[in-house]
Structure 1
């Protein structure tokens, strides 16, 4: 059965159960972050000294709230973070979902038309690149929609609270039946401290596999 000729209203991803979602469009994202921390520390064994847990809890909450603030500044829609079954939140990776509009091309008749050629999209992405080394671009499809995959390493920047270099993978996907809108799923990891180490490679491979589960939603 063909999907209706109208833009989708959402999306689905088959995320593992140990990842948590913090919605940024509705509700209190900051309170959601605090609830995540509270839930994690509520499962810590009772015999663990409270005076040792309190500094850890405050530091974790600070970092989670900073991640929420960064996602809000980027006008993101959702933030996903991994929650280990051992009740530890691993901030070594994250997924930020957002939406953007890429500039249109202007023709000789001064009318604009949306970019649709993958090469043109790639050029726009490069011209607006926020920095990075070893940038790699490729194009294809995600759930039948034109997509561009960008991979890069972003060096540490203490001024932005980036104390370690990160490996970043962006999937920029054209929204069906609305060629001016683009969906972005941005994955970031520090690996085990080196954005090119084996852990980073494994996490990038996992994220690429995750994006094969991406589906648009019309309901």
Structure 2
């Protein structure tokens, strides 16, 4: 007897990303993933690079990368995705200020109820509670689940290690079968130095395409 896919519990998710993007799990196996990505990056250092420059370059690369991962871990996220390999003719490279942070949100329950409410009700709350000036909010369906899309520009915050403003796009997706759980995929880019420039626009369109192909994993 075939199993009804719609009623099979969700056990994970799937994002289709180019090979140039790497996944860093933030709860288990983080250190191993960081070492693997850095070791791979070191192999692309030009063989004719001055020996006295290689050591400082490796240390700075490791410092920046590990700093970004540590910052993501502070958010209690699930996974961090970063463009870590060059792509000919593309903006995706190790130094690009772009990332995707995946996390899970358990929304607070209403007093006297057993759940946070139906996904449609929660989506209305999410759409109405935003206080970011100039934010773009919309809702739709992704892989049969209700989703809220939230786009805005975040100001620079040097005191928190953010030197430049960034373009942010968040997809908040209801986990099928569990109205209290929401999957969150948060994309961030500084573009070419201006979060509203052509590069930022192109990357936002790319991320929207990634989320259009988002799929649940079911066990």
TM-score where L is the length of structure 1:
0.88
Closer, same or farther: CA 7–114 of 1 in aligned 2, 3 Å? farther
Structure-2 separation of matches of 1:64 and 1:182:
28
**Partner of 2:138: helix, strand, or coil?**
strand
**Count, aligned residues:** 213
**Partner of 1:9: helix, strand, or coil?**
strand
Structure-1 separation of matches of 2:202 and 2:53:
33
Q: 5 Å matches for 1:1-219?
A: 2-3=4-5, 5-27=7-29, 29-85=30-86, 89-106=94-111, 110-116=112-118, 118=120, 120-124=122-126, 127=129, 132-219=132-219
Partner deviation per Cα, 1:61-89 (whole Å, 9 max, x = no partner) = 11111111111111111000002336951
Question: Greater shift after overlay, 151-160 or 132-141?
Answer: 132-141
Closer, same or farther: CA 171–88 of 1 in aligned 2, 3 Å? closer
Q: CA RMSD in A?
A: 2.1
Question: Greater shift after overlay, 194-203 or 117-126?
Answer: 117-126
Closer, same or farther: CA 218–119 of 1 in aligned 2, 3 Å? closer
Question: Do 1:12 and 1:215's aligned partners in 2 also have CA atoms closer than 8 Å?
Answer: yes
Closer, same or farther: CA 16–211 of 1 in aligned 2, 3 Å? same
Q: Offset of 1:132 from its aligned partner?
A: 4.4
Q: Offset of 1:54 from its aligned partner?
A: 2.4
Structure-2 separation of matches of 1:54 and 1:206:
35
Structure-1 separation of matches of 2:119 and 2:181:
14
Question: Do 2:13 and 2:216's aligned partners in 1 also have CA atoms closer than 8 Å?
Answer: yes
Closer, same or farther: CA 32–25 of 1 in aligned 2, 3 Å? same
Q: Offset of 1:35 from its aligned partner?
A: 2.6
Closer, same or farther: CA 126–62 of 1 in aligned 2, 3 Å? farther
Structure 1: runs of 5+ lacking an equivalent: none
**Partner of 2:5: helix, strand, or coil?**
coil
Structure-2 separation of matches of 1:40 and 1:126:
43
Structure 2: runs of 5+ lacking an equivalent: none
Q: Offset of 1:143 from its aligned partner?
A: 0.4
Question: Do 2:98 and 2:187's aligned partners in 1 also have CA atoms closer than 8 Å?
Answer: yes
**Partner of 1:96: helix, strand, or coil?**
strand
Question: Do 2:135 and 2:150's aligned partners in 1 also have CA atoms closer than 8 Å?
Answer: yes
